Amino acid sequence: MFQAQAQIKRILAEADVEINGSRPWDIHVFDQRLYPRVLGGGALGLGEAYMDGWCDAQALDQFFHRILLARLDKKIGLSWPLVTSRAKAFVMNLQSRSHSFENGTKHYDLGNDLFCAMLDKRLTYTCGYWKNANNLDEAQEAKLELVCRKIGLKKGDRILDIGCGWGNFLKLAAEKNQIEGVGITVSKEQVALGRELCKGLPIEIKMEDYRDMNWQFDHIVSLGMFEHVGVKNYRAYMAKVSRLLKDDGLFLLHTIGSNDSTIATDPWVAEYIFPNSMVPSIAQIGRSIEGIFVMEDWHNFGADYDKTLMAWFGNFDRNWPAIKANYPGYFYRMWKYYLLSCAGSSRARNIQLWQIVLSKKGVAGGYQSFR
């Protein structure tokens, strides 16, 4: 026990984090079993210990910012949960058609009350664009309008939104650009509320896997869904999108991005937040589009995810008393850990946010970038 504590203390010192210190980012330990649990279980051990109340920090986002900026996640070494998750991902296709609806059931179907309490007024569950925004509503509106400009929306266009959530993008595009749209999601709760929110507009929202889609569209967008596709399916995904896209259309891919290529996600995230997910790297996306698409534009505004996540947590924390009766006792600490650890990761530039514009044959005369 003491040896494990000394080792953790030595590692944390590299990020200027103290055990039971007085600064907002210092970690406070309430159960000495934390130390061997973290050394043996890595990210999963730390996350579960936090959920169990064994440790805390006044500013959890600042704690994660410091440890990830110092790359302390690399200093712990391979934990057994990380080894097993990578082995499982190597052997199995965790994002196959048979697994595709698990994220809907385990995450997006948690409850519309949760997401209404946390998100902006349009229910946009992806990174906002804060360039000229003063609050979350403005940042999300700016992001959706940016997508419209990037794909050159015009009246009468027929748009496919892969992973449409509650229909926020299609609703804005129909209201402001008079388009027709089809949105697909793996969440029955999103379908139910999304249809209600888009009532009266030429928008169809369906519960469907992208592999089962047909027809062709003028443009296609996918905002925050690619993280559920899996590297074993990237090439097939791009080929499918190409078949669904008209020859002169554009495909906009909005995805969290990783600085490193991997095949599995953080074990704690996989267990409690997004099962069967993984974040793509530049190299993995590059291989998936080669010979299928022309890359017209690659825009990174990953630092904006920090602001978005902190705004989400502020809303969640403020509105928690109104919805807490609908969730188990551990849920608040689990969700707080999820939002603030991701905020710290984004602040440390450990994760990115990319918007990539792709064409089938190249835009004649060149593509005009929008920022």
Per-residue three-class SS string for the chain? CHHHHHHHHHHHHCCCCCECCCCCCCEEECCCCHHHHHHHHHHHHHHHHHHCCCEEECCHHHHHHHHHHCCHHHCCCCCHHHHHHHHHHHHCCCCCHHHCCHHHHHHHCCCHHHHHHHCCCCCCCCCCCCCCCCCHHHHHHHHHHHHHHHHCCCCCCEEEEECCCCCHHHHHHHHHHCCEEEEEECCHHHHHHHHHHCCCCCEEEEECCHHHCCCCEEEEEEECCHHHCCHHHHHHHHHHHHHHEEEEEEEEEEEEEECCCCCCCCHHHHHHCCCCCCCCEHHHHHHHHCCCCEEEEEEECCCHHHHHHHHHHHHHHHHHHHHHHHCCCCHHHHHHHHHHHHHHHHHCCCEEEEEEEEECCCCCCCCCCCC
What's the sign of the alpha-carbon dihedral 45, 50, 56, 57? positive
Contacts of 203 (CB under 8 A, 6+ apart): 167, 170, 171, 174, 180, 181, 182, 183
d(CA 128, CA 142): 7
DSSP β-ladder status, 180-185 and 217-223: unpaired
Which residues are the active-site residues?
A: 342
Name the residue among 123, 100, 122 with its Cα closest to residue 111: 123
